[in-house]
Amino acid sequence: MSKKILVIPPSTELSVRKRLREIGLALSRDYQVYMLDWFEPRNESFIEKIRVTLKDIFKKGKVYEKKGLLWAGFPFFHRPLFMVKSYNPYSLEKFLIKHISW
């Protein structure tokens, strides 16, 4: 079994994601690479932040293949920050155990 890498993009900016996909494809020759799929607010308005949080928090954990890479999606919070610190690590760990079996 090959080693696994989870790539977590720091931003959903197109140029960053494109570069990380290229890196992921190169790494996928020797490793099983998973790219984290997540949403980012398009602007700083309260309504947009709530919309994106609701879209991500109700996402079901899943792994799917797209354009030669494995993509990982799982529920997580963007705001409020006090919930982010406790919920997101828990959600990530639960997702990794269930779907990726590290």
* DSSP-derived 3-state class of residue 62: strand
- For the stretch 23-76, pLDDT in tens is 999 999 999 999 988 777 778 888 888 888 788 888 888 899 988 889 998 887
Helix (H, G, I), strand (E, B) or coil at 70: strand
Helix or strand run (H / E) with residue 5: strand 4-7
Q: Domains in the chain: how many in total? A: 1
Domain with 56 in it: 4-100
Q: How confident is the model at residue 12 (pLDDT cuts 50, 70, 90)?
A: low
- Quote the pLDDT of residue 58: 82
**How many CB atoms are located within 10 Å of the residue 50 CB?**
13
The one-letter code for the residue type at 17 is R
**Do the bridges between strand 32-36 and strand 62-66 make them parallel or antiparallel, or are there none, so unpaired?**
unpaired
Residues 37, 77: Cα–Cα separation, whole Å: 13
